[in-house]
Chains A and B, each alone.
Chain A
Amino acid sequence: MPAHAHALPLDAVTEQAIDWLVRLDSGHSNDGDQQAFAQWLAMAPAHSAAWMDLQQRLNQRISPALSQLQADGHASPSVRALSTAAGHRPGRRALLGSAAVALLTAAGGGIWFNRRMPLMAWSTDLHTGTAERRRFALEDGSDLLLNARSSADLYFSSTQRLVRLRAGALIAQVAADALRPFVVQTAQGTVRALGTRFMVQQEQGRTLVSVLEHSVRLAPGDEGAGIALEQGSSAWMQSDRVEAVFATRVDPSAWSAGVLEVHDQPLADVLDALRPYTPAVLRVSAAAARVRVFGVYPLDRPMQVLQDLVDTLPLRVRRWSDLVVYVDVRDA
């Protein structure tokens, strides 16, 4: 099929968004680029809308297939086979012999890169307000990114680096220090860094842990040697056990880029993710809470997200002043 026969038009703002994607995802981008990008995004609502639209379209079209092939041993032959246009491929040999090799399905058809917020400040008692994400540089060279409405205390000494997460979520980028282990403590237990980058999210009665690089060790109830969790995996930690989260295409740390990514999740989860980003109280009926949601949404504009959901799903929204928003199913 001649793919460009009916190509959709490309507007100037989308082209700018594509230029940003190419620049930021070049493998060479620096803090200056990221700051300039943050300014561009903030300059006009149309900019962030174009950016989200671009991400969403790429995610729908090609990102899951690309993730599928990023596993070891598949990327290189795929590049070679796909780099040749149709009709120019040699057709020499017939099919495969099968042996066993596990496919490491790369988790997260996900976002194309993590937008790093410019480094802002550090303190020993960290917290963020509504709709505020903030990166904190720590004295040991590590840094913490806090999601909106999150708080954490630091207890650093000559023998330990302990971060107590009291509310919300953080992503830790850990600097190596053989003498002082790096530990994040939640109400359910501890997460000990063996590697460099992971996310911890305090929820009601449980903790979500997601490993972005290398591995961590989970110790529910702070007891025992703990359970290893590897890169690309996520788990729920309760005070007496750890439960695996089955691989999905959703990246639990996408909030770090201001993005909420959901794939067949109940609306209740979406509203939980939006709450830290709005001063309004979000209420949901039992029927609406079960509605399944797909898509990629901008966390920084929660009311826009609600409007998008109402436009595409059988939902309606009622407001009492600006402070209480009630989501229900639409009558047939």
Chain B
Amino acid sequence: MPSPAATAPIDALYREHRDWLQGWLRRRLGDGHTAADLTQDTFVRVISGGQAQAIQEPRAYLTTLAQRVLYNFWRRRELERAWLDALAAQPQELAPSPETYALVREAVETIDRWLDGLPPKVREAFLLRRLEGLAHADIAARMGISITSVERYVKQAIVHLYTCPVQAEA
């Protein structure tokens, strides 16, 4: 529980700049609802950043944080659309229920974050093995590469998963 002394600057920041920040986000998103959500997310980052007292230029600080929030939002939406496009391209019509969909979306985002920074072919080889269960020879045939390359890619993905530092929440 933060002490009153620590929360006071955040309260002030929130009161004085919330409407301005929400307007800033709305102009970029064209959507008031999402702008309100992302304003909240941005203030959550202010609180967890713990630097509210030291801020010299509050609006510059808030927009820096808000840009990160926006980036993550767009990235998640892009990922979601890519997933839904791929789903629509399947022979069977398999639209998940909203509950299922929330779980699937969360799992897709988690994997995306952990694979962040890996080249597309490495991601594909690893996912064909781990999600579709294809053997290395089948992956090689599917991707038009050698089995040795498949092994190298799968190893690269596992090394990355093992070594990359604990990820911040998006």
Contacts and interface: CB of A to CB of B under 8 A. Distances in A.
Interface of A: 1-4, 6-10, 14-15, 18-19, 21-23, 25-28, 54, 57-58, 61-62, 64-66, 68-70, 72-86, 88-103, 105
Contacts of B103: 68, 103, 105
Which secondary structure characterizes the binding site on chain B? helix
Given A25-B129, A26-B151, A64-B107, 15 more contacts: A3-B114, A3-B165, A7-B165, A28-B135, A54-B162, A61-B161, A75-B132, A76-B90, A80-B82, A82-B112, A85-B123, A92-B81, A98-B98, A99-B97, A103-B97
A280 to B, nearest CB: 34
B161 A62 contact: yes
Contacts of A100: 97
B86 A86 contact: no
Given A22-B158, A62-B161, A103-B103, A83 B123 contact: yes
B85 interface: yes
4 A-B pairs with least C-beta separation: A27-B135, A77-B86, A68-B107, A73-B94
Interface in B102-161: 103-104, 106-108, 110-112, 114-120, 123-124, 127-138, 151, 154-155, 158-161
A105 B100 CA distance: 10
What size tier do the contact residues of chain B reach?
35 or more
B92 interface: yes
Given A1-B167, A89-B78, A89-B79, A77 B87 contact: yes
B33 interface: no
A52 to B, nearest CB: 13
A3 B132 contact: no
B111 A28 contact: no
A74 B86 CA distance: 10
Contacts of A10: 159, 162-163
Contact of A27 (B98, B111, B137, B165): B137
A101 B85 contact: no
Contacts of A96: 84, 95-96, 101
A69 B120 contact: no
Contacts of B129: 25, 27
B168 interface: yes
A86 B163 contact: no
30 contacts: A6-B165, A7-B163, A15-B159, A18-B155, A18-B159, A27-B138, A57-B161, A61-B114, A65-B107, A65-B110, A65-B114, A66-B107, A75-B132, A77-B83, A77-B84, A78-B83, A79-B131, A81-B85, A82-B127, A84-B82, A84-B120, A85-B119, A85-B123, A89-B78, A90-B81, A90-B85, A93-B88, A99-B93, A99-B95, A103-B96
Contacts of B84: 77, 93, 95-96
A101 B164 contact: no
Contacts of A61: 114, 161
Contacts of B127: 78-79, 82-83
Contacts of A7: 163-165
Which secondary structure characterizes the binding site on chain A? loop
A140 to B, nearest CB: 28
A69 B155 contact: no
A141 B83 CA distance: 44
Nearest to B162: A57
Given A70-B131, A97-B95, A98-B96, A78 B108 contact: yes
Contacts of A1: 116, 167-168
A6 B165 CA distance: 7
A187 B152 CA distance: 50
A209 B77 CA distance: 42
A8 to B, nearest CB: 5
A133 to B, nearest CB: 26
Contact of B86 (A3, A19, A22, A80): A80
A105 B99 CA distance: 12
Contacts of B90: 73, 76-77
A77 B99 CA distance: 18
Nearest to B124: A83
A69 B108 contact: yes
B59 interface: no
Contact of B92 (A64, A66, A73, A98): A73
Contact of A79 (B128, B136, B167): B128
Q: Which of B83, B88, B155 has the most CB of A within 10 A?
A: B83
Contacts of A74: 96, 104
